[in-house]
């Protein structure tokens, strides 16, 4: 008799990461569609990857460092940590010592390390990026979901946080604060961050400041790093995946709180050495170029964030024209959040009983609209919401066209989106048909 290998329940219960989950949903739906000979287009609002190319100076630097086959320091090579500190100083006006920087294979494992090393309950605001919750489950860590309100643009309200933290009887907590925010695209002002930090200080709460989208902030001068507001209490994570479109390079950094103990630094080094030894050494050398002053990369930031702004704000406005859907207006990232709750009654009548069902129903034949909904975003089951990623277009082509002739007026911007992102425009039409279908009695 074949024996079944038993699985640890804390592993078995985690959710498949969004890229694979949405990909699997599409694959499954395609199989069903083949049976009815449907070859309709799929509308990809699910997968959140930068559509742009790796900036050429970074690609060249990687090619030039292939011979660096040696192991390197677990916390990252010194020259790279120094470059990361310099980058933070130039862009975010913060003082960072290279000894406070830990390099990891993307920010995901660094976030995992923060949860693993820092004691206390984790507070995850919802809606949330899909990555935190599975890590918490994997670590078997105690956590709390903090529900943010649509009337406050899904931002943490200090008085609500104060009341919430007062109820948690632990000596120390970790609050996840992702700014700008995946999935809503919301940006916190300096004033808002200060008010949240005041609450955190009062409740012995450290902040995991996930700033991976910082440099995608459309009006970059409005971005404030947590390191400026809460130097003694923020673990700031950032990396190459989003603003430099190099997710596959797997390179991120975590800045530890200012003046933290040598023991804490040593613990990060120990865990890094135990789990991944070091980030690929050639990638680390290439990343020095990604962090050092470079005009070509600066110009790349300017162009890509403008394209994200134009497409994001246009798409969000299009979603808002659909009666029954309310979309957030993104100020950074390449996502917004679409609230379908006005359609709740119609959805329930059509058998869409939960937010997880909403994702399944949107992808089902004949609509074929891929989104991320439900448990993945840590939504309440009866909260019909979806994360919309607006990156389903040829980034390289859009980049070149933008450089040739940047749109100057609202109508030129609209023409730019229609020209460069026809699949997403068609996706909105598919969504309109979906909503009409849902409303039919
Ligand atoms: C909010 C947020 N944080 C962290 C990550 C992880 O990025 P990486 O591990 O590629 O650095 C992502 C990627 O999707 C993200 O959206």
Query: The tokens of 27 are what?
Result: 């694959």
* Mean pLDDT score, 399-413: 97
Cβ-based neighbours of 85, under 8 Å, separated by 6 or more:
96, 97, 98, 100, 101
What's the 358 CA to ligand 1 centre distance in angstroms?
24
Q: How many CA atoms lie within 13 A of 242 on its CB side?
A: 26
Give the burial class of 276: count Cβ atoms within 10 A of its Cβ; 0-12 exposed, 13-18 middle, 19 or more buried. middle
Q: How far apart are CA 247 and CA 283, in angstroms?
A: 12
What's the 177 CA to ligand 1 centre distance in angstroms?
13
Residue of 18, 104, 107 to test ligand 1 pocket, by largest number of atoms within 8 Å of CB: 107
Average pLDDT value for the chain:
95
pLDDT at residue 9, as a whole number: 84
* Ligand 1 atom with the shortest distance to the CA of 110: 9
pLDDT band at 19 (very low <50, low <70, confident <90, very high): low
> Is 90 exceeded by the pLDDT of residue 153?
yes
* Mean pLDDT score, 359-384: 92
* Mean pLDDT score, 377-388: 95
CA torsion 256-259-264-269 (nearest 10°) is: 60
What's the 49 CA to ligand 1 centre distance in angstroms?
10
pLDDT at residue 18, as a whole number: 67
Q: How far apart are CA 204 and CA 150, in angstroms?
A: 27
Same fold across 9-52+297-439 and 57-293: no
Q: What is the share, in percent, of the chain residues with pLDDT greater than 70?
A: 99
CATH number of 57-293: 3.40.640.10
pLDDT at residue 341, as a whole number: 98
CB of 108 within 6 A of ligand 1: the answer is: yes
Compute how many other C-beta atoms are within 10 angstroms of the C-beta atom of residue 341.
16
Which DSSP helix (H) or strand (E) runs through 44? strand 43-44
pLDDT at residue 170, as a whole number: 74
Among 56-70, 168-182, 183-197, the least confident range: 168-182
Q: How far apart are CA 420 and CA 29, in angstroms?
A: 27
Helix (H, G, I), strand (E, B) or coil at 238: strand
pLDDT at residue 42, as a whole number: 83
Residue ranges of domains in the chain: 9-52+297-439, 57-293
The residues facing 250 across adjacent strands are: none
CB of 178 within 6 A of ligand 1: the answer is: yes
User: Quick check: 200 and 230 in contact, CB under 8 A?
Assistant: yes
User: Which of 246, 228, 244 has the alpha carbon at shortest distance from 236?
Assistant: 228
pLDDT at residue 15, as a whole number: 73
Query: The tokens of 146 are what?
Result: 């903090």
> Is 90 exceeded by the pLDDT of residue 24?
no
> Is 90 exceeded by the pLDDT of residue 156?
yes
Among 112-116, 169-173, 374-378, the least confident range: 169-173
> Is 80 exceeded by the pLDDT of residue 171?
yes
Q: How far apart are CA 364 and CA 383, in angstroms?
A: 20
> Is 80 exceeded by the pLDDT of residue 143?
yes
pLDDT at residue 123, as a whole number: 98
pLDDT at residue 240, as a whole number: 98
* Mean pLDDT score, 20-29: 76
pLDDT at residue 64, as a whole number: 98
CB of 247 within 6 A of ligand 1: the answer is: yes
CB of 17 within 6 A of ligand 1: the answer is: no
> Is 90 exceeded by the pLDDT of residue 417?
yes
pLDDT at residue 14, as a whole number: 79
pLDDT at residue 312, as a whole number: 98
User: Which of 377, 399, 396 has the alpha carbon at shortest distance from 388?
Assistant: 377
What's the 108 CA to ligand 1 centre distance in angstroms?
6
Instruction: Give nearest CA residue, ligand 1 atom 6.
Output: 108
Residue of 18, 108, 130 to test ligand 1 pocket, by largest number of atoms within 8 Å of CB: 108
The DSSP string of 133-199 is HHHHHHHT--EEEEE--GGGTT---HHHHHHHHHT---S-EEEEEESS-TTT-----HHHHHHHHHH
Q: How far apart are CA 384 and CA 389, in angstroms?
A: 17
pLDDT at residue 33, as a whole number: 80
Q: How far apart are the first and last CA of the chain?
A: 53
pLDDT at residue 313, as a whole number: 97
More confident residue, 4 or 296: 296
Residue of 241, 247, 253 to test ligand 1 pocket, by largest number of atoms within 8 Å of CB: 241
Q: Dihedrals φ, ψ of 169, to 5°?
A: -100, 70
pLDDT at residue 25, as a whole number: 77
- Domain 9-52+297-439 class, CATH top level: alpha beta
User: Which of 200, 183, 193 has the alpha carbon at shortest distance from 372?
Assistant: 183
User: Does pTM top 0.85 for this prediction?
Assistant: yes
CB of 252 within 6 A of ligand 1: the answer is: yes
* Mean pLDDT score, 418-422: 96
pLDDT at residue 264, as a whole number: 97
What's the 365 CA to ligand 1 centre distance in angstroms?
30
Query: The tokens of 218 are what?
Result: 């459309």
CB of 106 within 6 A of ligand 1: the answer is: yes
Cβ-based neighbours of 81, under 8 Å, separated by 6 or more:
75, 98, 99, 101, 103, 253
What's the 319 CA to ligand 1 centre distance in angstroms?
25
Among 104-108, 183-187, 348-352, 437-441, the least confident range: 437-441
What's the 107 CA to ligand 1 centre distance in angstroms?
6
Query: The tokens of 290 are what?
Result: 């990604």
Q: Dihedrals φ, ψ of 41, to 5°?
A: -65, 145
DSSP label at 292?
S
User: Quick check: 217 and 305 in contact, CB under 8 A?
Assistant: yes
């Amino acid at each position: 008799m074949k024996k079944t290998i038993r699985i640890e329940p804390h592993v078995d219960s985690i959710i498949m990461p969004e890229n694979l989950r949405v990909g699997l949903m599409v694959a499954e739906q395609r199989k069903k569609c083949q049976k009815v000979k449907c070859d309709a287009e799929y509308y990809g609002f699910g997968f959140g990857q930068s559509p742009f190319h790796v900036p050429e100076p970074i690609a060249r630097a990687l090619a030039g460092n292939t011979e660096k086959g040696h192991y390197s320091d677990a916390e990252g090579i010194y020259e790279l940590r120094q470059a990361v500190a310099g980058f933070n100083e130039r862009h975010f006006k913060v003082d960072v010592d290279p000894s406070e920087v830990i390099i990891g294979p993307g920010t995901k494992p660094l976030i995992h390390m923060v949860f693993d090393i820092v004691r206390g309950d984790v507070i995850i605001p919802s809606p949330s990026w899909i990555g935190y919750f599975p890590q918490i489950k994997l670590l078997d860590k105690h956590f709390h979901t903090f529900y943010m309100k649509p009337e406050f643009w899904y931002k943490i309200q200090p008085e609500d946080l104060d009341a919430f933290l007062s109820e948690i009887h632990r000596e120390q907590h970790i609050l996840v604060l992702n700014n700008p925010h995946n999935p809503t695209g919301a940006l916190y002002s300096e004033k808002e961050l200060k008010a949240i930090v005041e609450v955190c200080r009062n409740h012995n709460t450290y902040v995991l400041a996930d700033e991976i989208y910082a440099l995608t902030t459309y009006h970059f001068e409005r971005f404030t790093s947590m390191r400026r507001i809460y130097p003694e209490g923020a673990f700031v994570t950032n990396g190459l995946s989003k603003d430099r479109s190099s997710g596959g390079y797997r390179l991120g950094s975590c800045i530890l709180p200012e003046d933290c103990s040598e023991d804490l630094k040593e613990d990060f080094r120990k865990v890094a050495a135990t789990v991944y030894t070091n980030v690929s050494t050639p990638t680390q050398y290439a990343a020095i170029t990604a962090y050092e002053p470079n005009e070509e990369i600066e110009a790349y930031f300017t162009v890509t964030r403008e394209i994200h702004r134009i497409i994001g704000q246009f798409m969000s406005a299009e979603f808002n024209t659909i009666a029954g859907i309310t979309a957030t207006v993104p100020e950074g990232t390449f996502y917004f959040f679409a609230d379908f709750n006005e359609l709740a009654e119609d959805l329930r009548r059509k058998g869409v009983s939960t937010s997880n069902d909403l994702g399944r129903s949107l992808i089902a034949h004949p609509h074929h609209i891929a989104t991320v909904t439900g448990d993945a975003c840590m939504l309440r089951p009866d909260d019909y919401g979806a994360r919309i990623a607006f990156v389903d277009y040829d980034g390289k082509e859009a980049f070149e066209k933008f450089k040739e002739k940047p749109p100057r007026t609202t109508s030129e911007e609209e023409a730019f989106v229609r020209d460069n992102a026809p699949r997403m425009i068609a996706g909105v039409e598919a969504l309109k048909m979906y909503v009409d279908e849902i409303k039919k009695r």
